[in-house]
């Protein structure tokens, strides 16, 4: 809960700062969007996580954006180490004033090594994330939201939860 609250405060602060800069500007927004997210996580039992997720999209209509994303996730704890690569298409539908619905199909491939016995597990898993979020206005957009993986199988998934918060930046070209 602390992470989500911190992310909401950060986005609200960035939106306020950006709105002060962009008042009265005549910048036009292009149809192309490039951006992505970067994440660092720390936790119990020596946990460290790094996530890099670039994306590129195109505004098909003033409200509908389609694009592709790629990603890399590195995780390490006292018990395991994992490397995951991902990619897939996404769609955002901008409902009104910053709120958007999101659908994102993502396929993950990689490996996880159990450190206690050096056993290595190959990962090959798909996710269909459905959710939504908030995006600040303007040619540089800060985004935050939450998604749910409708394909999540609790007994056969590398992910402990089907819920994933997200955040990032998108620039209009």
What pLDDT is stored for residue 4 in this prediction?
A: 45
What does the pLDDT look like over 65-118, one tens digit per residue?
999 999 999 999 999 999 999 999 999 999 998 999 999 999 999 999 999 999
What does the pLDDT look like over 133-173, one tens digit per residue?
999 999 999 999 999 999 999 988 888 899 999 999 999 99
Average pLDDT for 53-60: 97
Rounded Cα distance between 61 and 36, Å, is 21
Rounded Cα distance between 74 and 101, Å, is 28
What pLDDT is stored for residue 28 in this prediction?
A: 57
What pLDDT is stored for residue 25 in this prediction?
A: 47
From 5-9, 29-33, 38-42, the region with the lowest mean pLDDT:
5-9
pLDDT of residue 63 exceeding 80, the answer is yes
Rounded Cα distance between 22 and 35, Å, is 19
Q: Where would I find the beta strands (DSSP E) of 15-162?
A: 32-42, 48-59, 64-76, 80-96, 99-114, 119-135, 140-149
Write down all domains in the chain, each with its CATH number in brackets: 2-172 (2.40.160.20)
Asked if 169 contacts 34 with a C-beta cutoff of 8 angstroms, the reply is no
pLDDT confidence tier of residue 8, bands split at 50, 70 and 90: very low
> Of the candidates 89, 172, 170, 104, which has an alpha carbon nearest to the alpha carbon of residue 135?
170
């Amino acid at each position: 809960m602390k992470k989500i609250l911190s992310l909401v405060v950060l986005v609200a602060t960035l939106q306020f700062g950006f709105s002060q800069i962009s008042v009265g500007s005549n910048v036009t927004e292009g149809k192309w969007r490039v951006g992505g997210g970067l994440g660092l996580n720390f936790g119990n039992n020596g946990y460290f996580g790094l996530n890099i997720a670039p994306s590129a999209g195109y505004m098909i209509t003033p409200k509908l954006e389609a694009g592709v994303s790629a990603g890399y996730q590195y995780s390490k704890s006292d018990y395991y180490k994992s490397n995951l690569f991902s990619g897939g298409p996404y769609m955002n539908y901008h409902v009104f004033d910053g709120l958007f619905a999101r659908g994102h199909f993502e396929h993950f491939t990689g490996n996880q090594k159990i450190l206690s016995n050096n056993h290595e597990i190959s990962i090959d898993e798909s996710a269909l994330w459905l959710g939504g979020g908030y995006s600040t206005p303007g040619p540089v957009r800060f985004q935050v939201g939450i998604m749910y993986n409708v394909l999540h199988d609790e007994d056969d998934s590398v992910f402990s939860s089907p819920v994933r918060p997200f955040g990032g930046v998108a620039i209009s070209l």
